[in-house]
């Protein structure tokens, strides 16, 4: 049995991280998956204990995960993480520093083999109303929903720009990521964005209009939806839409052979999903308040 943790959208909350680290120390899972939106918002300095702490990854995450690794040694879990649309891509070098210390593996746009599972990581979402565009791409075409801002507009802290953004879609990037892989029966997709038109991408946009056009209450990715439908991976892990569970009462969904989870949460609690990839139907969700 492989006991695994999945969390997402921690947004730099010290409470959520401390709850997660405590559970890692206590339960010593085989693997921990972090599904993006991991860092504080740009003007949130509440995590700082003193003026010398200036970077959340190097001054908080690396020391905290290092301390856990020192305490449990060889039982330290494999940690797989991606960033999300609220995380600046300029922080990637700090994540690589943590990877070099063997604290985690940063797997955006990468394929990793762990045990006998193949893990795919992908951070990007379709166009949103937000202005940070580091992790936004056109979905399957250059269509932009009403109220959203094109990936070619807004701002970026790092990564591609210009023509590369204009002619890149989530669909094309997923196709490239998949490569020549043919068997997905042991595949896990760690994707910040959920698939389109399901319980996991339901946003609180009911009745809202922009220029007399109604907003779509589903804000997931069509490309990710098609990837799941066509490839039928064993398991997919998502976040991004904080209110989806409150709107639908669901945090997991089946798409044929595939089981999909969302660990997004709109309350201050840590939403911790425990699962065994051999038995995804037995997964549980715990909301940890303290």
pLDDT of 223 reads 98
Beta strands (DSSP E) in 18-126 are: 31-35, 78-82, 105-106, 110-114, 117-122
Q: Which residues contact 42 (CB under 8 A, 6 or more apart)?
A: 88
How far is C-alpha 117 from the chain's CA centre? 18
Q: Is the dihedral of CA 156, 80, 273, 55 positive or negative?
A: negative
pLDDT band at residue 52 under the 50/70/90 scheme:
low
- Sheet containing 270-275: which strands, arranged edge to edge? 105-106, 78-82, 31-35, 4-7, 270-275, 284-288
Residue 47 confidence (pLDDT) above 70: no
Task: Report the pLDDT averaged over residues 153-162.
Answer: 91
Task: Report the pLDDT averaged over residues 112-119.
Answer: 96
pLDDT band at residue 158 under the 50/70/90 scheme:
very high
Residue 77 confidence (pLDDT) above 90: yes
pLDDT of 162 reads 84
Q: Which domains does the chain have, with CATH numbers?
A: 4-288 (3.60.21.10)
pLDDT of 54 reads 82
Q: Which of 195, 188, 178, 193 lies closest to 283, judged by CA?
A: 188
- In degrees, rounded to 5, the angle at the alpha carbon of residue 270 between the alpha carbons of residues 268 and 275 is 155
Tell me the per-residue pLDDT of 116-135, one tens digit each, with 9 for 90 and over: 999 999 999 999 999 999 99
Beta strands (DSSP E) in 100-251 are: 105-106, 110-114, 117-122, 187-191, 209-210, 213-214, 235-238
Residue 49 confidence (pLDDT) above 90: no
- Selected residue with higher pLDDT from 53 and 70: 70
Residue 198 confidence (pLDDT) above 90: yes
Q: Which of 16, 5, 43 lies closest to 285, judged by CA?
A: 5
H or E element, residue 274: strand 270-275
Residue 283 confidence (pLDDT) above 70: yes
Task: Report the pLDDT averaged over residues 256-263.
Answer: 98
Evaluate if pTM is beyond 0.75.
yes
* 263, two tokens: 């660990």
């Amino acid at each position: 049995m492989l006991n695994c943790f999945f969390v997402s959208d921690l947004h730099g909350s010290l409470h959520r991280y401390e709850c997660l680290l405590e559970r890692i120390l206590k339960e010593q899972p085989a693997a921990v998956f972090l599904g993006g939106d991991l860092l504080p918002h740009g003007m949130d300095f509440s995590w700082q204990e003193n003026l010398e702490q200036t970077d959340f990854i190097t001054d908080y995450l690396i020391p905290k995960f290092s301390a856990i690794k020192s305490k449990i040694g060889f039982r330290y879990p494999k940690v797989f993480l991606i960033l999300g649309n609220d995380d600046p891509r300029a922080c990637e070098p700090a994540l690589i520093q943590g990877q070099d210390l063997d604290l985690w593996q940063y797997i955006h746009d990468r394929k990793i083999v762990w045990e006998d599972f193949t893990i795919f990581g992908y951070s990007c979402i379709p166009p949103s109303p937000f202005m940070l565009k580091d992790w936004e791409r056109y979905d399957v075409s250059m269509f932009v929903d009403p109220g959203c801002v094109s990936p070619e507009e807004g701002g970026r802290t790092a990564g591609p720009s210009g023509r590369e953004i204009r002619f890149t879609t989530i669909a094309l990037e997923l196709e490239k990521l998949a490569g020549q892989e043919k068997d997905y029966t042991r595949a896990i997709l760690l994707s910040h964005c959920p698939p389109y038109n399901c319980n996991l991408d339901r946003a609180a946009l009911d009745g809202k209009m922009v220029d007399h056009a109604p907003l779509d209450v589903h804000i997931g990715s069509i490309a990710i939806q098609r990837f799941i439908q066509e490839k039928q991976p064993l398991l997919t892990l998502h976040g991004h839409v904080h209110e989806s569970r409150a709107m639908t009462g669901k945090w997991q969904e089946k798409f044929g052979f595939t089981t999909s989870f969302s660990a997004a949460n709109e309350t201050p609690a840590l939403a911790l999903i425990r699962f065994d990839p051999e038995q995804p139907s037995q997964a549980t969700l715990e909301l940890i308040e303290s």
